[in-house]
Amino acid sequence: MNSNFDLTVKLFADGADLKGIREMSELGYIKGFTTNPTLMRKAGVEDYAHFAQDVLKIVHDRPVSFEVFADDFETMEAQALQIASWAPNVNVKIPVTNTKGESCERLIARLAKAGVQVNVTALMTLEQVKTVAACLENGPSSFISVFAGRVADTGVDPLPMMSTAVEFLSDYPNLELIWASPRELLNVFQADAIGCHVITVTNDVLKKLSLVGKNLDEYSLDTVRMFYADATAAGYRLDVPEAMLIA
């Protein structure tokens, strides 16, 4: 990481590529890891439990979140208890609702009462944050993931909501707010500025940390050189008539 800045927000690496997870695990400023079924499918993961065990062989000193994938509450609960048993650093990701739009709040409350560390995911409103926080109030340390990036995708600025969520959760010392689905490196600094506890970041965005503090004139020149090099490497050419050449 560039040494010209310090962050209070914790960086969690988000992905399902074992090579990338191993690389990120060697970086001291990565404080946790998250994944989800979509990322796992994209990475070609075929055996869920086997993949999770491979991850836990790499990451055993920082929180790792694995998500349930059932849609009925009974099976979701059974999956959650099984996933939680894999290691003490596991947080079980529970969606805020099932696919029918039915709230998972009762399930979340039962898991919290049973001492399961959860990561409630796919939230996009303050009302959802308030409902979930109430369910987790007396439980173990857990996360609430608000998909700020997806909120921004709808044309709504997520900053005011995320800032309010941080303030609201100050009354819940066992809970940490995650800024999920960031779209650019700037989101890391936005999350940090409002006191958000955690931001999940994919490897491609994390690698942009090396650009922080870069001189913009130099960056402009680098960009020009990139365009020129790619055009040259591609062998592009235009046969410009002599008459159009400026003497």
Alpha-carbon distance of 107 to 177, in angstroms, equals 20
Q: Which has the closest alpha carbon to 180: 171, 188, 172?
A: 188
pLDDT in tens, the chain (247 residues): 444 468 999 999 999 999 999 999 999 999 999 999 999 999 999 999 999 999 999 999 999 999 999 999 999 999 999 999 999 999 999 999 999 999 999 999 999 999 999 999 999 999 999 999 999 999 999 999 999 999 999 999 999 999 999 999 999 999 999 999 999 999 999 999 999 999 999 988 888 988 999 999 999 999 999 999 999 999 999 988 888 877 6
Is residue 181 a contact partner of residue 201, using CB atoms and an 8 Å limit? Answer: no
Residue 31: the pLDDT is 97
Bridge partners (DSSP) listed for residue 93:
67, 119
Q: How far apart are the C-alpha atoms of 136 and 69, rounded to whole Å?
A: 21
DSSP string, 93-161: EEESB-TT--B-HHHHHHHHHTT--EEEEEE-SHHHHHHHHHHHTTSSSEEEEE-HHHHHHTT---HHH
pLDDT of the residue at 4: 45
Which pLDDT belongs to residue 67?
98
pLDDT on residue 203: 86
Indicate which residue of 93, 100, 113, 130 is catalytic: 93
* Residue 59, pLDDT score: 97
DSSP H/E element including 14: strand 10-14
Domains and CATH numbers, the chain: 10-244 (3.20.20.70)
Answer positive or negative: Cα dihedral of 73, 79, 85, 89: negative
Considering the entire predicted model, what is its pTM? 0.92
CB 67 within 8 A of CB 52: no
**H-assigned helices in the chain:** 18-25, 37-42, 48-58, 73-84, 105-113, 126-136, 148-153, 159-169, 186-193, 203-206, 216-234
Q: Is 93 a catalytic residue?
A: yes
Q: What is the pLDDT of residue 138?
A: 93
Tell me, rounded to whole angstroms, the distance of Cα 89 from its chain centroid.
Answer: 17
The tokens of 107 are what? 């399930």
Find out whether 36 and 67 touch, Cβ atoms under 8 Å: yes
Quote the pLDDT of residue 1. Answer: 46
